[in-house]
Every structure is written in structure tokens, then in C-alpha cells.
Structure 1
Amino acid sequence: MSSTSPSWRERYRQAARDAGFLLRLWPILLLAFLAVVPLIALGVGTAVIGVGVPVLVLGLSVSSHFAQIGRRAVAGVDSSEYIPGHYRRPEAGARGVRALLAPLRDPQRWADLTWVVVGFVVSLATWALAVAWIVVSLAAPFSPFVETIVQDALGDERANNLAELLGLEPDLLWATLIDMAVCVLFALTCPFVLRALVRAEQDFTRALLCRSGEVARLETSRAAVRRAEADARSRLERDIHDGPQQRLVRLGMDLARAKRQTSRDPRAAETILDGAIAQTRETLDELRGLSRGIAPPVLVDRGLGAALAEIAVRSGVPVAVDADVPRLSEHVEQAAYFVASEALANLNKHSGARAAELGAVVEDGALRLWVVDDGAGGASVDKGHGLAGLVHRLDGVDGRLSVVSPAGGPTRVEAVIPCGS
């Protein structure tokens, strides 16, 4: 996928969002600092007599509330991923003092407090730099005129600008040109400076407030992978037992019966063999259907685009394919293939569609795959529906699934899978 650098218009639009974020963050942390630090100090000072424990808990709770605001702010400034905090839940059956003391044993709440205290200083520095850069960018051209007005009002004849110090004449013109150059320099670098300041705030905030959430999400994803694999294995075993295995048993019995009839009644033996051939075809069809959840050789050898084209050919509903994607990580290709296979299988069984579209594209570091049909609608990811298993499968690769399927159609199933390893 080719990436293009953003235009200057996009840079300045983002710079406006960055400036708003930086200018708001320090007042928020100032308020948090003024609210939390006195509570923590009072709680620590009176903890020996027991009164301070509830005050400490209150202080931690307030800091966690502000931390939640911080998490949403760093995600919203550039529409990056929101990562919630991971807080320990009180033990089952905990009451009274044990329930009250639970927040004091939660590392994330102490990390929230650290963010409030240290973040107050960090955000003050980023706020000051942002204000300085914005003010210089906007106000530098007017500074010579302001200086002239001040000098006239005060009768001050001392050199007050660089042009006068260098002896440049006329000094007002040269001062204006110098300040205009400074203004242009600061204006051109403003988007990059503000973006760097926002990145620093994001890294600092996520290091303290989001790391436990990332770990918890990783553990959830791993559990989802194990659950999806176990469900897929159980379903495959059940389907093989109920389908091809039973047909193969019957096929063996029919062939044995045909062998006995060959010498006595060749016509009857021929009828039995015809039935056995039909059984063979049906068994092959079932095995092909079951192989949808297993990576086929074409996916391994030629990649996702070729594999999607192949499953589209097998569809009973005509499917137009638009999937010119590069080779991706194995887990990404397998998850996408599974989603496409299940979506097309569900489409063929339930939609009543006359045409469908299967597409895939890599953009913004993620694979986006969609299946659209003109059927009756009503598709759902609720338990008991054909698409229910896709959610667990995508959880295992940090992907997400959306299904839009109003009554009467059309239906759009879309999966987004991060391409990062």
C-alpha cells in the first residue's frame, strides 16, 4: 500500500485539534491536582487514626475519574485507538472494610494518582511551549508597531528591537521584515511542534494509564483465540462425525452389498453402485464445505486475493470480487479467509440474494474486508446465528466485525483486522 504525506491543509487542521488538546489539558490537570493532592495529603496524615483511609480512597477515586478524561482526550485528539484502564474488581463477597480497602490494593489507581501529580508538571511544560509557538506565529508581525506605540507613549529612545541594535534603517521596516520571517518560521513549524508535544503527552499518558488495559486486552485476545480454536475443533469433529463419517460407513456397507450381488444379480449390484457414486459425490461436497474453516493450499501458496477469488467461484450466488491486496501476515490472511468463507456460506444459506460483492483493501495499517449482498437482510452476530463465531475469531487478532442488515436488505458484513505483527 502506498502512503502519501498529508497536505498542509490537513496538517493545520490537525494542528488546530492539537492546540485545543494541549491548551485544555493543563487546566484539567490543574483542577485534578488541586482536587486530589489535598485529599491524599489529608488521608495520609490522618491514616494512623483510621479517618484517613476513606479520604485516601476518595482521593484515588477522584484521580481515576480525571484519568478517564485523560484517556479519552489522548485518543480523541487524533482519532487514535481508545484503550480503557483495567481496574481490579473487589473480591467476590467482600464487604465492609475489605471492600473499602480494595482500591488501595489496585496498582492502576496509584498509577492514576501518579499521572495527576507528574502530569501536572509535564502538561505545564507542553502548555507553555504550545502557547509560545501559537502566540509567536500569530503576533510576531505586529510587534514592531506595538513597540513604536509603547516608545511614543513612554518617550523611550532606547533600542528595543534587533533592527535598531544592528543599525538598520529604516528600523521599523527592518523590524517588520525580521518579525515576519520569525512569524513564517514559527507558522511553518507549528504543526510539527504541536504534533510532537501531543505525541509526548500521549506516550506519557498511555504509559501510566493504558498499559494495564493493553495487557488485559492481550490476555482477552489470547483467551478468545483459544476459545475460537476449541469451538472450531469441536464443530469440525461434530460435523465430520455427523456427515462424512456416516456417509463413508454407509458407502462401505453399500459396496460390500454390491460385491455380494455381483454374481447373483448384476442389475441390482449396478443400482447399488450408482447409489454409492452419489454418496461419494455428496461426501466430497460435505468435505469441501468443512474445509472452509481450514487454510486451503491456494491461501498459503498464492495469498488472500487468490483464495477469495476461489471461494467466490464456489458460491451459488454470483459474487463480484475486488481484492487486490499484498501478502500479509499468516494470522491476518487466515482470519480474513475465515470471515469471507463464513459470510458467503451464511449468504448462500439464508439471504436469498441474487448477487453479492466481496472486497478487501489494506488502508491505514489494517485490512478491511467486506461482503455485501442484495438479499432479504436480518443477518446478526447474536448467538445462534451463522455469523456469531466470527466475533470470537476476530477478537483473537484484535479485529472487529460490523454487520448492517436491515429487514429487506441489503446486508453488509465488514471486518477490520490490524496488519501489524
Structure 2
Amino acid sequence: MSVNLETKTKKALRRGSDGTGRLVSGLRTSLPAMLGLVPLTAVVVLLPAALPWLPHAVRPLRTLANTERSRAGRLLGREIPEPYRPLLGDDLAQGIVLARSPIVWRDAAWMAVHGITGLTAALLAVGLWTAIPFSLSLPLWWWAAPEGSLAAFTTLDSWPKALTMPFVQAAFYVFLLVWLVPRLAYWQAELSEALLRPARRTSLTERVDQLVETRAEAMEAHGAELRRIERDLHDGTQAQLVAVALRLGLADRRFDTDPEAARALFLDARDGVEEALAQLRTVIRGIYPPILADRGLAGALRALTAGQPIPVETDFDEGRAPAAVEAAAYFVVAEALTNIAKHSGAARASVAVRRERDRLQITVRDNGKGGADDGRGSGLAGIRRRVAALDGTTLIDSPEGEGTTVQVELPCGS
């Protein structure tokens, strides 16, 4: 039982210590916010005259707010997105837009509230750590304090009080430390999220813009796919069939006069037909690989990774997803592996496909030279367009000399 009590005590003190650390880390933003209240008040009072300087005054406020978004987001375990949009025009035009923007006033409200409450909460948390040993030491020296001094919620003027009230006070401080301080840290983060997250109207506007961009990406991806199919058919299959037709025409003319030459032309034509069929199958696989229907996404990817020139570590979920999602996932992995083989110089790679609720997560990594850029025609732009067409997300991390990681999320229903 004593072991359990000791364990619980350690956990409680750890919660208090963690909460204190989080509140102290909040000083990184609450102290600048507190110091900025005076210039903030001056800007608000002199707003009509300060409009041309408002864009410059807002920049440090936004930087501070973004720092708090990041800090509070880590504590809450979720991202707090930025609501800011690019500003157009000269300083006066931007100042007028900012003065009318509810986002600016919400940031200003956060600055005022966080500056006061953040500093107060951090001082309270730190003060409790010193107040507890101070209270416990009172019985040792209370008699030396000036007469009438208040301690332990009362005036210590007798030994019974000195041997009881300081411990009551210390217990109260411990309660505040292990119960209130962690909650204060969490409430502080929630308050920051409530004031700094995008308003509902802003979120809807951004969502509309995102859907417009996604639709444009989908149309671009669809057009690129049609051009690829047309090019493959025109330059490959059609050219091969034209060559077959010419051979058959020549064979027909020589059939009576030179049967052996005609037979050779017929054999060449047959080979040409087989090559045209192979090219046609390649085009069909580019539209929707038949192996997806036969083996599912996991089986198709195993076959794909098995044929790579370097070792590829795999980790696949066996479940099925909608056909369009599986086709996009197959395309992403195929294109990423092609890039690795052509450009990365990697010695090994890994592919992971996991189903997380209604999202399909795809991760392709290599240990190559890095430095991949989807703006240089490396195939990554095609991946991004294909994923955007399904309202998915693409993250590419490719520092120089450290390999490349492509992370894709595709919505696939519940």
C-alpha cells in the first residue's frame, strides 16, 4: 500500500511539474503580449491616423500569435491553422482591410487576455513551488516573526497554531499544484485555440477556395492523363498498326510472285500485331491496372515493389478501398518508385500503406541524395495533382543528402 501511495504521489507531483513547465513555456508569448499592450492600446486609440502603419504593426502580432498556435497545438494534440490571407494594395489599402478584419481584433483580444492571464498563471505555478517549503518551515521560526505578521491564513501567536496551520496551508498549496496548475495549462491552450483558430466563416471561405483549387487540379490531372493516353496510342500503338498494315500490303503484292518474301512479311506483321497488343495492354494498365481488380491494392503493390532494381521494404494493410482510391494509391507508389530508381541514387526504399479510419495513408521513403522538387518535372507534380483530384493531401520532405519521404493521405470513406 505504501508503494502505491508513493507511486501516486510521484505521479501527482509529475503532473504539477509538467503543468508548471507548460505555464512557464507560455511566458514565451505572454511576456511579449504583456509588453505589447501599451503600443496595442495606442494603435487602437489612434487607429484612423495609424492605418498606413497598421500592416507593419500587425506583423509582429501575427508572428507572436503563430508561435502560440504552435505551442498550444502541441499541448492539445491538434493543429491550430492560421486564418491569415495575403494582403493586396498599398499600406493604406492594407490598413483599411486589416482594420475591418475580425481576425485582427481576435488576435488583439488574445494578446490582451493572454498577456495578463499567462503571466499570472505562470507566476502562480512557480510561486507554489516556493510557498510549500516556506509553509512547512514556519513551525521552526514563527516565533521570530514580527508581532502581528500573518502566516498560514492567520496570525501565528501560539504553538498549537504553529504546529497545525502551516501544514494546512502547505496541503492547500499542494492541492493547487497537482490539481489546478495542470488544468490551468490546458485551459490556457484552449483559450488560445478559441481566440486564434479561424472563425467559421473564414473556414468556409478557405474550404471553398480549397475546393476550387482541387477542382482545377482534378481537371489538370484529367487533361494530363488524356494527353498521355493519346500520346501513347498515337506514338506507340497506332504507329505499330500502320507498320503492320504496310507489311500486309507489301505481302499481298508479293504473294503470287515471291511467296517466301510474302511469308516473311506476314511473320513481321504478326510480330508487329503482338507488339501493338503489348503496347495497348500497357496503356490499359496506365488507366486502371487489372492487377488491382485481381489481387487488390496490397497484392498489386507487392508485385510492383518486387520488380524494383533496389530492395524495397513493404508494410501493407490487406483491406480494400474504392477503385479510384486504389488506382491513385497504385499510381503514387509506382511514380515514387520510378523517381527513386531514376533520380535518387538510393540503395534501399520502403513503402507503407495503412488504413486509418476513413483515410488511406501512403508513405514512400528512400535513403538517396534528397533534394527532390516537384517544380522540376520529377514526377512529384503528377503525384500531387492525382492526389488533389481526390481531395487528398501530399507532403514531400527531401532535404539534401538525407533521402526523400513522400506522404500521401487519400479519403476513402468509412
1:320 paired with 2:313, answer yes
For residue 378 of structure 1, report the CA deviation from its aligned partner: 6.5
Deviations 1:110-154 (A, max 9, x none): 532343246414652454345334433542342253487456423
Q: Quick one: which amino acid aligns to residue 388 of structure 1?
A: A
**What corresponds to 1:388 in structure 2?**
381
Output aligned runs, 1:20-419, within 5 Å. 20-43=24-47, 53-59=48-54, 61-79=56-74, 81=79, 83-87=81-85, 89-91=87-89, 100-106=92-98, 109-117=101-109, 119-121=111-113, 123-146=115-138, 149=141, 152-156=144-148, 161=153, 171-189=161-179, 190-207=181-198, 212=202, 218-219=207-208, 221-245=210-234, 247-250=236-239, 254=244, 258=248, 265=259, 267=263, 268-289=265-286, 291=288, 296-297=292-293, 302=296, 305-315=298-308, 317-324=310-317, 336-350=329-343, 355-360=348-353, 367=361, 369-372=363-366, 379-392=372-385, 397-404=392-399, 406=401, 411-415=403-407, 417=409
Deviations 1:240-281 (A, max 9, x none): 112135544356553796599588657342332132112212
Deviations 1:267-320 (A, max 9, x none): 34233213211221233234324547x99447xx956x4553243235455433
For residue 72 of structure 1, report the CA deviation from its aligned partner: 1.9
Q: Within 2, Cα distance between the matches of 1:234 and 1:314?
A: 29
Partner secondary structure for residue 231 of structure 1: helix
Say if 2:316 and 2:353, in contact at 8 Å, map to a contact too: yes
Judged with a 3 Å threshold, the aligned counterparts in structure 2 of structure 1 residues 117 and 380 are, in CA distance, closer, same or farther, namely closer
Per mean C-alpha deviation after superposition, the further-off stretch among 387-396 and 328-337 is 328-337
**What corresponds to 1:4 in structure 2?**
none
Deviations 1:10-35 (A, max 9, x none): 96775355212433444333333211
Per mean C-alpha deviation after superposition, the further-off stretch among 186-195 and 246-255 is 246-255
Q: Within 1, Cα distance between the matches of 2:398 and 2:170?
A: 54
How many residue pairs get aligned? The number is: 387
Q: Within 2, Cα distance between the matches of 1:260 and 1:242?
A: 28
**What corresponds to 2:6 in structure 1?**
none
Partner secondary structure for residue 382 of structure 1: coil
Per mean C-alpha deviation after superposition, the further-off stretch among 196-205 and 18-27 is 18-27
Partner secondary structure for residue 86 of structure 1: coil
Say if 1:335 and 1:393, in contact at 8 Å, map to a contact too: yes
Partner secondary structure for residue 46 of structure 2: helix
Judged with a 3 Å threshold, the aligned counterparts in structure 2 of structure 1 residues 103 and 333 are, in CA distance, closer, same or farther, namely farther
Judged with a 3 Å threshold, the aligned counterparts in structure 2 of structure 1 residues 368 and 244 are, in CA distance, closer, same or farther, namely closer
Say if 2:55 and 2:94, in contact at 8 Å, map to a contact too: no
Say if 2:364 and 2:407, in contact at 8 Å, map to a contact too: yes
Say if 2:237 and 2:280, in contact at 8 Å, map to a contact too: yes
Per mean C-alpha deviation after superposition, the further-off stretch among 11-20 and 381-390 is 11-20
For residue 177 of structure 1, report the CA deviation from its aligned partner: 4.2
RMSD, aligned α-carbons: 4.7
**What corresponds to 2:4 in structure 1?**
none
Deviations 1:77-105 (A, max 9, x none): 554646444245334xx6xxxx6244213
Q: Within 2, Cα distance between the matches of 1:276 and 1:206?
A: 62
Q: Within 2, Cα distance between the matches of 1:26 and 1:378?
A: 38
Per mean C-alpha deviation after superposition, the further-off stretch among 330-339 and 223-232 is 330-339
Q: Within 1, Cα distance between the matches of 2:372 and 2:104?
A: 42
Q: Quick one: which amino acid aligns to residue 132 of structure 1?
A: L
Say if 2:13 and 2:178, in contact at 8 Å, map to a contact too: no
Deviations 1:340-373 (A, max 9, x none): 221112234445666533235689x994612315
Say if 2:152 and 2:166, in contact at 8 Å, map to a contact too: no
Judged with a 3 Å threshold, the aligned counterparts in structure 2 of structure 1 residues 175 and 326 are, in CA distance, closer, same or farther, namely farther
Deviations 1:55-82 (A, max 9, x none): 2443564245323312222313554646
Partner secondary structure for residue 383 of structure 1: coil
- Contiguous gaps of at least 5 residues in structure 2: 1-10
